[in-house]
Copies of this chain bind each other. A is one copy, B any other.
């Protein structure tokens, strides 16, 4: 049923916004809704493998990679990051308050059947090879997002 679908564009690569996105996604999936998350631009960083990666072929591609956080444990805060201190404070506080870290939110989303789509145009521009990403169910362009979103009750750009 159309009303049971949620489509979220995860454009941001910030920890706080990623947490909000996965909190909504897992909450919706847990209550029986059909959820698709479409990762684009900086949002793709949180899907990057933390171990050895194939990486970009060109110097510019490697520079993009160099400046960007890899995987869910490295994301900065969108505000008050203070050179990473804000991000550390937030993670510490979340642990103390028994809120799961982002990596566990992502695993939970996968278990609940949330569909993870990675934007091929962003991957092309930032030279991210598919094998460097975790958790991805589908590699697709904007048409795939529109297809899902036009059947969704809730559409968000985060």
Give chain A's interface residues, CB within 8 Å of chain B.
3-4, 9, 11, 13, 16-17, 20, 23-24, 27-28, 31, 33, 40-42, 60-61, 63-64, 67-68, 78-80, 82, 86, 89-90, 92-94, 96-97, 99, 121, 124-127, 141-143, 145-146, 149-150, 152-158
Residues of B within 8 A of A63 (CB): 89
With A9-B156, A16-B41 as contacts: A97 and B125 at CB distance below 8 Å: yes
- Contact call B33/A20, Cβ cutoff below 8 A: no
Interface of A is mostly: helix
Residues of B within 8 A of A93 (CB): 60-61, 64, 125-127
Tell me, in angstroms, the Cα distance from A78 to B43 when the chains sit together.
13
- Contact call A146/B28, Cβ cutoff below 8 A: yes
Most chain B CB within 10 A, of A41, A64, A157, is at: A157
- Contact call B79/A99, Cβ cutoff below 8 A: no
Tell me, in angstroms, the Cα distance from A68 to B60 when the chains sit together.
28
Shortest distance between the CB of A11 and any CB in chain B (Å) = 6
Contact of A154 among B99, B143, B150 (CB under 8 A): B150
Tell me, in angstroms, the Cα distance from A31 to B61 when the chains sit together.
31
Shortest distance between the CB of A157 and any CB in chain B (Å) = 4
Tell me, in angstroms, the Cα distance from A99 to B156 when the chains sit together.
25
Tell me, in angstroms, the Cα distance from A40 to B21 when the chains sit together.
12
